[in-house]
Amino acid sequence: MNSDKKPIAAWLLVCCALVFAMVVVGGVTRLTDSGLSIVEWQPLIGTIPPITQQDWDELLEKYRSSPQYQQINKGMSVDEFKNIFWWEYFHRLLGRLIGLVFFVPFIYFLFTKKIDKPLGYKLAGIFVLGGLQGFMGWYMVMSGLVDNPRVSQYRLTAHLGLAFIIFASLLWVALGILSPNNNTAAANQNTDTLKGLRRFAYGLSWLIFIMVLSGGFVAGIRAGLAYNTFPLMNGHLVPPDLFVLEPWYRNFFENMTTVQFNHRLIAWVLIFSVPLLWFKAIFKSSLSGTTRLACHAFLLMLAIQVSLGITTLLHAVPINLAATHQGGAVLLFAASLWVSHQFRKSG
């Protein structure tokens, strides 16, 4: 690793940590129904929190015009409003902080010529994704400020998916700086074996991303509140009402049964696939210590995340467990990317 680029890698990992925090806080914001408490998008002015009683009265008055207040929270006091306001405020403030923490060092590294052109283009692309994410967040909130006081599950999933894409981009670039050379294979390692492991790891990373998207739909239509049993779904291996909506494809996005079934199905695929990758990597190939460590971390994180998912489901989605489960998804994704990166140039 080029020692001149070590600060860049550290900076990108700090950004990863902030995105992780953003995903967790965003999960709590959704679980507490706080996301619609701020009915305006003010990227600059909105940074200043309410201080005086007049500030709070004005914010509550604006909130009273929203469908959520009129249909769900009618008669809410200022103190009750504060409980949901602060989660959404900190969620937006954290988004602004991430933009600042990314942009300022990026300009510094750019002007001090510590970033070459290829890396500069990658980082500029990530910055554009961050701006798009800010717009997507407000676009999502707008869907809940009309007739139905619930944000669209489609926009929610897009917002969540984009957060994971930004996280993956930051982490992948950081790993490329920290481990730029092919140190994965042992001297006599079979090339075909390494190619197979690489394809397997890449496939699992994509599958986890798809599972994250399915989790977005679970959250968006509150499918976790149905079928709070495991491993069967209220006594069924395959529940009978998977395709009750017409046309049939709506069931994958709007039917609580189908959405939760799909999320479970992907989890089962991972439960069998990740240990298989781990077994092949540890016992069927000669790999570096770092690669073996990444494989161990991947398997351990899968066990933790599956346990969190089952516990969250059985307890009907309590806020603390659900938020932890959402954070666990980021860590599982990170572990899969670490493993994938270790095989990136193999074969």
Mark the binding-site residues for heme, compressed into ranges: 263, 325
227 sits in the region (left: phi over 0; alpha: psi -120 to 50; else beta) called: left
Q: How far apart are CA 182 and CA 177, in angstroms?
A: 12
Matching residue, tokens 């995340």? 305
DSSP of 29-86 = HHHTT-TTS-----TTGGGSPP-SHHHHHHHHHHHTTSHHHHHTSTT--HHHHHHHHH
* Tokens, residue 340: 């994938």
Whole-Å CA distances, 5 to 11, 15, 17, 36: 10, 16, 19, 41
Of 294, 291, 277, which Cα lies nearest the Cα of 335? 294
Q: How far apart are CA 69 and CA 33, in angstroms?
A: 11
